[in-house]
């Protein structure tokens, strides 16, 4: 274990670091505890953010969301350059952009990650979910799972898988709405990559109650309705009523029942539209929950 530093003169444990002298001084008696301390910061000074940006000699950190992980360079545009030099810089920039994406695998990644950025923006996904989807896609490319499938369907499937792995409530219908491929194709790609990337049902399992807050926000329901809906869903889960059922349909029915019980009524159509299921699905799940859980629901 690291030895605790104590001033040998007064026994104080409070110290001040003086970067201009490279000294560590006791805050109480002024005794110099250590001298010639190496300054690990930059050798230059900056007095505003613009000056700091100009003098810095390092770029952004490595990112899995860029096809080259952000390790390549860019040739910037200098407006002050004119004539032949400007044409030369333009040609250099063009060749540099081509060299950044040199082969088919790089082009594949560049296109897929730009599509991922678009999906994440539309779905308002947190950065860690986007990074997990990018990691899954890179694993799929490395194992040759992309061959014969569209890039759009696989990247959408990776987004859906990442959401389920990290317990972020996004349904397949929501992803299909903003994707360029239909729900069935995304579903096929999802099942395929889940099988080959060892994404077991246990890892991908999402409780229906995880969707409650998302749907309740869109319906403008209060906290007591949310709590009631979560209680209903937890009881249904414990009794094995959720197995093989769509989480969206179950959550829609639970919120509909909770709204009736707490006198914050929403129509079946309103609930169905938010959950992106049919009114028939809401009615069927409603009947099942009322019968199996022996609920007393006020007449609608």
Binding residues: 7, 10, 26, 29
- From residue 164, give the alpha-carbon distance in Å to each of 116, 194, 202, 251: 16, 11, 10, 16
d(CA 94, CA 260): 63
Q: Which residues are annotated as a binding site for Zn(2+)?
A: 7, 10, 26, 29
39: left (phi over 0), alpha (psi -120 to 50) or beta: beta
The sign of the torsion formed by the CA atoms of 240, 244, 249, 251 equals positive
Phi, psi of 34 (to 5 degrees): -150, 145
CB atoms within 10 A of CB 194: 19
Phi, psi of 207 (to 5 degrees): -70, 140
* Helix (H) or strand (E) segment spanning residue 195: helix 183-196
Q: Are 158 and 140 in contact (CB under 8 A)?
A: yes
According to DSSP, residue 26 is labeled E
The sign of the torsion formed by the CA atoms of 279, 283, 288, 293 equals positive
Q: Are 275 and 238 in contact (CB under 8 A)?
A: no
- Give the relative orientation of helices 127-142 and 104-123 as an angle to the nearest 10 degrees: 150
Q: Are 47 and 53 in contact (CB under 8 A)?
A: no
């Amino acid at each position: 274990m690291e030895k605790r530093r104590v001033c040998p003169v007064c026994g104080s444990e409070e110290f001040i670091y003086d970067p201009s002298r490279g000294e560590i001084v006791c805050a109480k008696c002024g005794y110099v505890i250590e001298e010639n301390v190496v300054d690990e910061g930059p050798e230059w000074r900056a007095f505003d953010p613009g000056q700091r940006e100009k003098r810095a000699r390092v770029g952004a950190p490595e990112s899995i969301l860029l096809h080259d992980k952000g390790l390549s360079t860019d040739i910037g545009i200098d407006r002050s350059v004119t004539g032949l030099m400007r044409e030369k810089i333009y040609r250099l920039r063009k060749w540099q952009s081509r060299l950044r994406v040199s082969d088919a695998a790089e082009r594949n990644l560049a296109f897929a990650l730009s599509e991922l950025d678009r999906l994440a923006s539309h779905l308002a996904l947190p950065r860690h979910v986007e990074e997990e989807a990018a990691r899954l896609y890179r694993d799929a490319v490395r194992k040759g799972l992309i061959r014969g499938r569209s890039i759009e369907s696989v990247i959408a499937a990776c987004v859906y898988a990442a959401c389920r792995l990290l317990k972020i409530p996004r349904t397949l219908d929501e992803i299909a709405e903003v994707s360029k491929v239909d729900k069935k194709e995304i579903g096929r790609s999802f099942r395929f990559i889940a099988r080959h990337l060892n994404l077991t049902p246990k890892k991908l399992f999402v409780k229906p109650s995880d969707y409650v807050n998302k749907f309740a926000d869109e319906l403008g329901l209060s906290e007591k309705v949310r709590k009631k809906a979560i209680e209903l869903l937890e009881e249904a889960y414990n009794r094995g009523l959720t197995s093989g059922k769509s989480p969206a349909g179950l959550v829609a029915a639970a919120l509909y029942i909770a709204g009736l019980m707490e006198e914050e009524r929403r129509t079946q159509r309103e609930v169905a539209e938010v959950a992106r299921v049919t009114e028939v699905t809401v009615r069927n799940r409603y009947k099942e929950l009322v019968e199996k859980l022996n609920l007393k629901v006020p007449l609608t």
